[in-house]
Amino acid sequence: MTNLLPFVDVETAEKPDKLVIWLHGLGDSGHGFAPIVPAFNLPDECHVRFVFPHAPIRPITINNGMKMPGWYDIASMDIVSRADEKGVRESALQIEALIEAELAKGFKAENMVIAGFSQGGVMAYHIGTRLKYKIAGILALSTYLAVPEKLAQEVNDINKQTPLLAAHGTADDVVPFAAGKMAADSLSQLGFNVEWQEYPMQHNLCPQQITYIGQWLNKVFNA
């Protein structure tokens, strides 16, 4: 692995001291969520660098092998086995390399949030619960767990008190609401500091949720 993942970056100040790594969903790119940053309405004193990586292009089995940006393959819609473990672990290494490169610029890990939507949320869960250093927060949107049967053996305790915001649409027709709730409950049972939010929406973000995420980011960065 010689090249870092390409990405889009948005900075809310000239010299940001906070970092958000935001991972997109299947078929999207880093460009998909970048325009949302102003809608968070972060206060002027909250200087944040948002990094939106692009997932590798790969064939997706459930889409007849069509190639598209994805953090892993999906061979089955069964929620327990939906995420291809090999792909998840390969992408985790690539994302962690990007994180290390960002931290090398002078950001502190305790001032970093890992966020993701759908497939990106799977990656945020996977990486955030296994990191060996403490971070500011984990944000998991409209998502589920990869390899849930291995979670208890692989998690690292260091981020169990780290704020973890999980949110899901009650009418989600892509990732069932029950799967999102099950993921959040599983992490709560393992001792993670989970806050659960649900919204009357499908597989997307809504204005009320975006406002709350902005408030949450400001809170965890100033805790």
**CB atoms < 10 A from the CB of 164, how many?**
25
Distance between CA atoms of residues 6 and 171, nearest Å: 33
Where is 83: in which H helix or E strand? none
| Helices 119-128 & 85-103 angle (0-180, nearest 10) | 70
What CA–CA distance (Å, rounded) separates 195 from 201?
Answer: 18
CA distance 103 to 11: 15
Residues serving a catalytic function are: 118, 172, 203
- Three-class secondary structure of residue 209 per DSSP: helix
